Amino acid sequence: MLRVVGLILAPSLAASFIALAIALTVMEWPGWKPEVDSIWMVGLGVLFGLVLLRFASICAKASPEGLFVRNIVATHRYEWSQIVGVSYSEPLGDSWATLSLSDGTTSAVMAIQAPTRRA
């Protein structure tokens, strides 16, 4: 499940880096080495696009069987019996929920953001 913004922005970001690499090559920018720098520029555009897609795919889905959590790096499925509690660690400054699990560990759920405080 990807958000529409991620599906639009990720390819746009990669295309922008590719266009910039082509433009700097055509303009013969001083210090620009097309054989090396173009490869790096395109590679960075693709890498940033992939990272943006991963951020856009962060989710938490509840089902009768348990909770599916996809964060930036890891994806987990938790049965309801494994989840002891859900909390926000305000002293640590976390802006997302933390699951307390039955084995004594914790796991972040980045898709569930902490409520914002109004001054």
pLDDT digits (tens, 9 = 90+) for 58-103: 999 999 999 999 999 999 999 999 999 988 876 666 688 889 999 9
Q: What is the pTM of this model?
A: 0.73
Cβ-proximal residues to 107 (8 Å cutoff; 6+ apart), any chain: 69, 76, 78, 98, 99, 101
Three-state secondary-structure class, residue 104: coil
Q: Which of 58, 16, 32 is nearest to 68 (CA)?
A: 58
Q: In angstroms, what CA-CA distances link 87 with 5, 44, 93, 112, 115?
A: 29, 37, 12, 10, 12
Q: Which of 91, 94, 84, 86 has its CA nearest to residue 114? A: 94
